[in-house]
Structure 1
Amino acid sequence: MIAQRRFAPLFWTQALGALNDNLLRTLLLLVLVFATLPDDPMRQGLATNLAAGLFILPFLLFSAWGGSLADRLDKQRLIRRLKLFELGIMLLAAAVVWWESRPLLYGLLLLMGVQSALFGPVKYAILPQHLAPTELVRGNAWVGLGTFAAILAGTLLAGLLATLPPGVSRPVAVLALLAVAVAGLAASLMIPPAPPAAGSDTAARHPLGSIWAVLGDSLRAPQLLSAMLGISAFWFLGTCYLTLLPAWASQVVGGQASAFNLLLAAFALGVGAGAMLCARLSAGRLELGLVVLGALLMGVGGLWLAGSAPLALSAATLSELLLQLGFWRMLAALGLVGMGGGLYIVPLYTLIQMLSRERQRARMIAANNIFNALLMLVAALFGMLMLGVAGVELPVFVASLGGIALLIGLGLLVRGPRPLLRLLIFALVHLIYRLKFRGRQHIPARGAALVVCNHVSFMDALVIGGASPRPLRFLMDRPIYESPWLNWWFRIVGAIPVDADRRDPGSVRRALDEVSHALRHGEVVMLFPEGRLTPDGEIQRFRRGLDIILARDPVPVVPAGLAGLWGSWTSHQGGRALTKWPRRFRARVALYFDEPLSPQQARCGVLEARVRELKADADRWAQPALRSEGGTA
């Protein structure tokens, strides 16, 4: 993906833009604020807060307009215009840096904020137009990695330039700003077209008049609003951490700029690593369990960081810091906070992209950016109240941030434990088997659907449920459902128990009613039309229950073929399932999905033939040693 034209130009465009933002913002603060006010901490603090406020203010005022523009215009053309705007800002910035014009400083920061506010919605709204639904998590992970790597690189480069003699630092800074802007513009020229969706509003809107309309749309979408507030909580915590790092480096660590740089690197690289780990663990799915896991890791990392203070060094050099075990603990704790943040934020951005309608997707992302900006301002006020008014110590402040993250994680876990448990079970299945999936994009991204598959073992539901991009409801035998050890889990994941009418009159009718209820609420239900585990490894005749379900609720049907689990201890080969000792570890298991069939096409005979074909294809990968023997295990 990162090397393909449909994504690579956008990745480099946004990463270079973030690099220039942070390079210029840090340069302006280091060279023009702290250099001209070296002995006045109060005025330095006032200037720094004013600069931060001027950068955030445009996100409140212009994000909605940026979202409206991105929904109405071709996103490719809009990005190019914004990169030209950025180049113009950098030309002005070159003059400001060269002549150190303080009056222009604050206006320049305001312009930077405007450009970033307009660019924010379009960079996330364009991804679903160029990436498949199963690629969105990975795409957002790369964007997150690029953003935080750019934050780190821009800050470190600005610090390096500020240490150079004035006669050298100014021309080098000017060349760096212009070079990065030109490179970003060049990358934007290679972004593929992304026209607006049919039916998008083409009427011009006043820049400030869009705010209430955009916020109103977001308030009418509860699930999207929850994701936005979740992302804003991350930026609240992230802003607090990034704001306190300079004070932590000097007061707690006792180091100079080298300590700050290493702490910032640990946090930024942790976020990037967490984002990429999220893509790896998600395996193409929207895995909301990672949100819970990420919040808990942020909480544990924050408390660990608070407990690692103080280091009690005085003006430590880099070599002295690296010899301190306590400093390494701080780096590890901050890295854990960042990793939790990466795991936490990527699925939430993906959720907004997938649930928002195409014609207003950019406006929903713009609403998210407005909430983010508000929570960043709240973070600044929270820091001022805690550290200034209340006078708490830095470790206590950090512990409060860890406590907030833990409360978020525990609240999400209590509210809905199903996503995290699904993630943990699927991770366990990945450890036991070598899995190969194909065609997962055929499961509809929205709306009700049935998934039908051959039934090989008691592990089938776990493998299929973990492979699906969406949560699945599935039917299962009541005796297994009522197992005293696993009933709690079956209830959480929404399994639907069914028993033979001769043992429990009315059981089948109740199960069909529950399936119908799930389908009418837009869920995906998985069925094993054979009705029982295969006794010989071959597909048995499909039963008529599938036709009954489709007669009540005509929905698309996705056929699937599973291979590789016959012969496992959860299958009937060599004796009754679950009564044998496991004999294989890391066996190959393949699961192939095919294009959905309409309710009219999805008859038992047609589906059975399609599932047989898919199983035969999956067998070729799962059982390569048996190809020449002419059989299946």
Structure 2
Amino acid sequence: MSHDRSPETGGACPRRPPSRWRTRGPVPPALWLCFLVVYPVASLVFRLRYRNPERFPRTGPVIVVANHVSILDPLACARLVWDCGRIPHFLAKQSVFKGPAGRILRAAGQIPVARGSADARSSLAAAQADLAAGNVVVIYPEGSVTRDPDWWPMQARTGVARLALTTDAVVLPVAQWGPQRVHDYHAKKLHLRLRTPADYLVGEPLDLADLRAQVRDGRPLTGELLREVTDRMMGAVRDQLAELRGEPAPTAFASRPARILPGDLPGSAA
């Protein structure tokens, strides 16, 4: 049997990774409909630039943990996940799951997050089931666009840590920078410019094996533990954001707003 040869080493080339169409698996009709809208719009609005996309797992369950700088983040982040050969499933506030659009989103595998402890637990269970099926779940742990005036991450909600510690999913920190140039949430202004640069840095997966083993052995999911893990995740994202921006990150997270504001993602599952 003949083998392809590497011109650099003269040895056998490593096996090519499976095609992106294969790793995405079956694409339901509702998701095709979303794709036909999101892909061209994201291509027109953003000039997407990826760093280290090879770190994105091509198979298996993945929790993407990202910072939140614009209401347009899901548009660009969906392209990142799709371009890495996976299908994104977002945790999104329940209010967007209304009418025909809501039915399409549900059929496309997106997960609503509702306010209230019982409903939030239901959202968490849905995300756990999605990961158990080997899918990619995208979470913005801040719950809404950051209120930090310089766009650094604010203190995150801890539901993402509960999800990470109770599943075996790869936890992948992703930093993004650029969508806020198109929609400035703080100023409530839309600056519609085509091909605005949007940069994404895919970090190394976080190693939570020791803490997961402790939880399986009976360690309770205390607020202190959930806060520790959440801050570890968002600390990685913040450091990656500093790399994207080329400037030092603050040493602390910005405070959350004292009250729920428009754009907030309610529920502890986020």
1:473 aligns with 2:59: no
3-state DSSP of counterpart to 2:179: coil
Query: In the alignment, residue 506 of structure 1 is paired with which amino acid?
Result: A
The residue correspondences of 1:417-496 to structure 2 (distance < 5 A) are 417-419=30-32, 421-422=34-35, 424-468=37-81, 469=84, 470-482=86-98, 484=99, 486-496=101-111
Q: Structure 1 residues 493, 195: closer, same or farther in 2, change over 3 A?
A: closer
1:544 aligns to what?
Answer: 158
CA distance in 1, matches of 2:236, 2:60: 23
Q: Structure 1 residues 551, 618: closer, same or farther in 2, change over 3 A?
A: same
Higher relative contact order (CA 8 A, sep 6+): 2
Structure 1 segments, 4+ long, off by >3 Å, are 580-585
CA distance in 2, matches of 1:574, 1:194: 52
Check conservation: 2:61, 2:168, Cα contact below 8 A: no
3-state DSSP of counterpart to 1:534: coil
1:497 aligns with 2:112: yes
Check conservation: 2:181, 2:196, Cα contact below 8 A: no
1:481 Cα deviation after fit:
2.8
Check conservation: 1:457, 1:565, Cα contact below 8 A: yes
CA distance in 2, matches of 1:530, 1:445: 26
CA distance in 2, matches of 1:416, 1:583: 30
Q: Unaligned regions of 5+ residues in structure 1, if any? A: 1-77, 80-121, 131-186, 197-283, 289-350, 356-411, 621-626, 628-633
The residue correspondences of 1:239-388 to structure 2 (distance < 5 A) are 286=20, 288=21, 351=22
1:538 Cα deviation after fit:
2.1
Q: Unaligned regions of 5+ residues in structure 2, if any? A: 212-228, 248-270
Per-residue CA deviation, residues 51-87 of structure 1 (Å, 9 max, x unaligned), is xxxxxxxxxxxxxxxxxxxxxxxxxxx32xxxxxxxx
1:614 aligns to what?
Answer: 240
CA distance in 1, matches of 2:162, 2:45: 36
CA distance in 2, matches of 1:442, 1:527: 18
3-state DSSP of counterpart to 1:526: strand
The residue correspondences of 1:10-159 to structure 2 (distance < 5 A) are 78-79=1-2
1:193 aligns with 2:15: no
Number of aligned residue pairs = 221
Give 2:174's match in structure 1, choosing from 560, 567, 579.
Answer: 560
1:618 Cα deviation after fit:
2.2
Check conservation: 2:173, 2:203, Cα contact below 8 A: yes
Check conservation: 1:454, 1:560, Cα contact below 8 A: yes
3-state DSSP of counterpart to 1:462: helix
CA distance in 1, matches of 2:39, 2:238: 25
3-state DSSP of counterpart to 1:435: strand
Counting aligned pairs with the same residue, the percent is: 22
1:519 aligns to what?
Answer: 131
TM-score normalized with structure 2 length:
0.71
Q: Structure 1 residues 500, 601: closer, same or farther in 2, change over 3 A?
A: farther
1:430 Cα deviation after fit:
1.1
Per-residue CA deviation, residues 285-310 of structure 1 (Å, 9 max, x unaligned), is 82x4xxxxxxxxxxxxxxxxxxxxxx
1:583 Cα deviation after fit:
4.2
Q: Structure 1 residues 489, 592: closer, same or farther in 2, change over 3 A?
A: farther
3-state DSSP of counterpart to 1:617: helix
1:417 Cα deviation after fit:
4.2
CA distance in 2, matches of 1:601, 1:422: 38
Query: In the alignment, residue 463 of structure 1 is paired with which amino acid?
Result: A
1:585 aligns with 2:194: yes
Per-residue CA deviation, residues 234-292 of structure 1 (Å, 9 max, x unaligned), is xxxxxxxxxxxxxxxxxxxxxxxxxxxxxxxxxxxxxxxxxxxxxxxxxx982x4xxxx
1:557 Cα deviation after fit:
0.5
1:191 Cα deviation after fit:
5.6
CA distance in 2, matches of 1:440, 1:522: 19
CA distance in 2, matches of 1:424, 1:566: 21
CA distance in 2, matches of 1:592, 1:486: 30
Check conservation: 1:433, 1:588, Cα contact below 8 A: yes
Per-residue CA deviation, residues 72-106 of structure 1 (Å, 9 max, x unaligned), is xxxxxx32xxxxxxxxxxxxxxxxxxxxxxxxxxx
1:465 Cα deviation after fit:
1.7
Specify the structure having the higher radius of gyration (Cα). 1
2:145 aligns to what?
Answer: 533
1:471 Cα deviation after fit:
0.5
1:420 Cα deviation after fit:
5.8
The residue correspondences of 1:591-606 to structure 2 (distance < 5 A) are 591-600=200-209, 603-606=229-232
TM-score normalized with structure 1 length:
0.32
